[in-house]
Amino acid sequence: MEITRETARYVAKLSRLEIAEEDMDSVCQGLTSILSYMDEINASVDTGTVSVTGSGAGCPTRPDTVAPSMERVLLLDNAPEHGDETPVVPRVVD
Amino acid sequence: MRYEAVIGLETHVELATNSKIFCSCGGHSTKGEPNTRVCPACAGMPGMLPVTNRRVVELAMRAGILLHCDISRYTTFDKKSYYYPDLPCAYQITQWFHPVCRNGSVEVTTKDGTRTIGIKQIHMEEDAGKLVHDDWTETTLVDFNRTSVPLIEIVSKPDFRTADEVMAYLEKLKTMFRFANISECEEGAMRCDVNISIRPEGTEELGVRTEIKNMSSLSSIRRAIQYETARHLDAVERGTETLVQETRRWDDVKGRTFSMRNKETAADYRYFPDPNLMPILIGEDWIRRVRDTMPASIEEKTAEYQSKGLSEKEIASLTSERALCDLFDAVTAAGRDPKEAASWILTECGGILRKHGQVMGELRVAPEKLSRIMEKVSGNEINRAAGRKVLEAVLYEDADPDAYCKAHNLSAQGDADAVRQVVLKVLDATPNAVKDYLGGKKKAFQALFGGCMKELKGNGDPQVIRTLLEEELSKRS
């Protein structure tokens, strides 16, 4: 599958990434070669008999018990902007 | 040409767990000061890994059993990627490829009849945080307490035709899930996305569909469905606008829907299996354990209470709350008569609660105390009026029934010897009334009766007093 400039721009927008116009060709080539490599792998490796869960044991789970949460200040310190109780972001209304 | 509405629902229900779905923070979405139920995992900090809460899977299975679904033996969690401030990881962990339950159904009944609504699937997912918009500063405040709170999403087939059917469905889900301890279904714990289109009656092809997102109030959902159906009809019949497939939001104040920003399509969400969460294998043993440990359903309780001779109204009232059923079961297990138990719970407790401005859902009484009061009344130790007084003291003063009766001398009025002493005292103290009665003035009996009741502080058993009064008066004739 070839990745066109239009597709690259579209995916970049979804990912909130900015790709400079001068880099567009190399990005398209790189993404195309990655997908081509996946096509080769899919064509040459038969995974039909391999269990997705590896050991077959399935997903580890935990009991429904509550443990202490982290101090609020630790969360707020990681936010670029915050008030006393919450991170603050530019107004977003869906 | 007549048209019909074709409506499908995606209903998100918050599960009644102690902790979140992928971490051990407290799970209730409305409790706690902002950002005090957050850890590095649910805050999306780099390197933190999710671990699935087993109870979430079991409650999802329980919901599937109630809605007659097939339980998947292999179910996976998948990432749904998009950017929004309430989503700290920039993806939501949900189920796209292998949901936990599929192909169920539920019947809904309205005044127009009963319809079977198909359930396409039930899947587990995590909730996002809460945003509070500040109009003064043009900023948004983010509370992550709700991130990773466990939800199930029930996706119906587009089998609804009216707003009434949607209301009946949502009320039924609420009642079923509360009764089965799957969800508390409080304010905001159940939210809906409504998909609606119209088509000529008798045809199969679906019309242009619009989605109205994220509604929680039943009255708003009804109004939104009615508005949107009318908007579609106007567009099709009178050409007022061109309908496009889009997402809209309902404005409750303005009473209309508005087109939202362009939402991503399914492909744009780039669903892929979450590499941090192994597939969950659900074996027959696990399904059997979930089924065996489920509380009895409303249907099962209804059949049980019918066999105990309760009326339809009594059964409906008891099964409106799991706690009322538990109280009834405990009291009847202690040997109390089922009809009497229903009467004491619904009529006597209900009356006292209403007097104090409360509703049945707020009833909190120890079954053994209620049972003891019933035992005293049925054993004629105290009359029903006194029993009501004791009950009120139990409900609002945490009184012990025996201690309260003793302290207020209530037991005496059931004791025939004690009542006889009171009768003799009254007869001795009112010789004129006795003379009038024996002289043929029957009205004097009421005065003597009133005197006895006054001595017993209004708690006397009327029948016992009358009988003993007649006995003692006849001895003096």
Residues from chain B that touch A91, judged by Cβ atoms under 8 A, are 133-134, 138-140
Mean pLDDT taken over chain B: 91
Same domain, B281 and B325: no
The predicted structure's pLDDT at residue B393: 95
Is A44 touching B (CB cutoff 8 A)? no
Q: Is residue B7 part of a domain?
A: yes
The predicted structure's pLDDT at residue B457: 73
Does the beta-carbon distance from A63 to B55 stay under 8 Å? Answer: yes
pTM greater than 0.90: no
Does the beta-carbon distance from A14 to B139 stay under 8 Å? Answer: no
Mean pLDDT of B361-371: 94
Instruction: Decide which of B238, B255, B285 is a domain's last residue.
Output: B285
> How do B52-53 and B91-94 pair as beta strands?
unpaired
- Smallest CA–CA distance from A93 into chain B, residue: B133
- Is the predicted pLDDT of residue B113 greater than 80, yes or no? yes
> How do B101-110 and B91-94 pair as beta strands?
unpaired
The predicted structure's pLDDT at residue B137: 87
Same domain, B226 and B301: no
Among the partner-chain residues A57, A72, A83, the one whose CB lies closest to the CB of B36 is A72
The predicted structure's pLDDT at residue A68: 95
Phi, psi of B466 (to 5 degrees): -60, -50
Is A4 touching B (CB cutoff 8 A)? no
Does the beta-carbon distance from A60 to B51 stay under 8 Å? Answer: yes
The predicted structure's pLDDT at residue B261: 64
**Angle subtended at Cα B330 by Cα B325 and Cα B334, rounded to the nearest 5 degrees:** 145
| Per-residue pLDDT reduced to its tens digit, B185-223 | 777 789 999 999 999 999 999 899 999 988 888 899 999
Residues from chain A that touch B277, judged by Cβ atoms under 8 A, are 59
The shares of helix, strand and coil residues in chain B, as percent rounded to the nearest 5, are 45, 20, 35
Same domain, B443 and B395: no
| Per-residue pLDDT reduced to its tens digit, B138-189 | 899 999 999 999 999 999 999 999 999 999 999 999 989 999 999 987 777 8
Mean pLDDT of B432-459: 87
Same domain, B215 and B179: yes
- Smallest CA–CA distance from A11 into chain B, residue: B268
Split at pLDDT 50, 70, 90, the class of B462 is: confident
Q: Tell me which residue range forms the domain holding B339.
A: 296-408
Does the beta-carbon distance from A78 to B45 stay under 8 Å? Answer: yes
A90 neighbors B38 (Cβ within 8 angstroms) = no
- Is the predicted pLDDT of residue B409 greater than 80, yes or no? no
Q: Is residue B224 part of a domain?
A: yes
Does the beta-carbon distance from B54 to A64 stay under 8 Å? Answer: yes
Q: Return the number of CB contacts < 8 Å for A and B.
A: 125
Task: Please state, in angstroms and rounded to a whole number, the distance separating the CA atoms of residues B459 and B453.
Answer: 7
Mean pLDDT of A71-83: 94
* B144 or B454, greater pLDDT: B144
How many domains is chain B built from?
Answer: 3
Mean pLDDT of B57-76: 96
Angle between helices B54-66 and B163-179 (to 10 degrees): 130
Same domain, B423 and B466: yes
Split at pLDDT 50, 70, 90, the class of B389 is: very high
Q: Is residue B290 part of a domain?
A: no
Q: Is residue B291 part of a domain?
A: no
Task: Please state, in angstroms and rounded to a whole number, the distance separating the CA atoms of residues A72 and A59.
Answer: 31
Same domain, B49 and B106: yes
The predicted structure's pLDDT at residue B348: 96
The rounded percent of chain B whose pLDDT value lies above 90 is 70
Does the beta-carbon distance from B140 to A65 stay under 8 Å? Answer: no
| Per-residue pLDDT reduced to its tens digit, B418-433 | 788 888 989 999 999 9
User: A10, A31, A61, A78: which to substitute to probe chain B, counting the most B Cβ within 10 Å?
Assistant: A61
The predicted structure's pLDDT at residue B28: 80
- Smallest CA–CA distance from A66 into chain B, residue: B24
Strand partners, B152: B13, B124
Count helices and strands (H / E) in chain A.
Answer: 3, 2
Does the beta-carbon distance from A69 to B26 stay under 8 Å? Answer: yes
Residues from chain A that touch B34, judged by Cβ atoms under 8 A, are 72, 85-86
| Per-residue pLDDT reduced to its tens digit, B15-35 | 999 999 999 999 887 778 999
| Per-residue pLDDT reduced to its tens digit, A11-58 | 999 989 999 999 999 999 999 999 999 999 999 988 888 776 655 566
Residues from chain A that touch B27, judged by Cβ atoms under 8 A, are 66
Same domain, B267 and B319: no
Closest CA to B60 of B51, B50, B70, B49: B70
Same domain, B85 and B159: yes
- Smallest CA–CA distance from B140 into chain A, residue: A91
- Is the predicted pLDDT of residue A94 greater than 70, yes or no? no
Is A80 touching B (CB cutoff 8 A)? no
Q: Is residue B27 part of a domain?
A: yes
DSSP B104-166: EEEEEEETTEEEEEEEEEEEEEE---EEEEETTTTEEEEEGGGTT-EEEEEEE-S-B-SHHHH
- The domain ranges of chain A are 5-44
User: B18, B21, B23, B24: which to substitute to probe chain A, counting the most A Cβ within 10 Å?
Assistant: B24
- Is the predicted pLDDT of residue A93 greater than 70, yes or no? no
Instruction: Decide which of B285, B309, B329 is a domain's last residue.
Output: B285
Does the beta-carbon distance from A66 to B134 stay under 8 Å? Answer: no
- Smallest CA–CA distance from A71 into chain B, residue: B36
Mean pLDDT of B97-105: 97
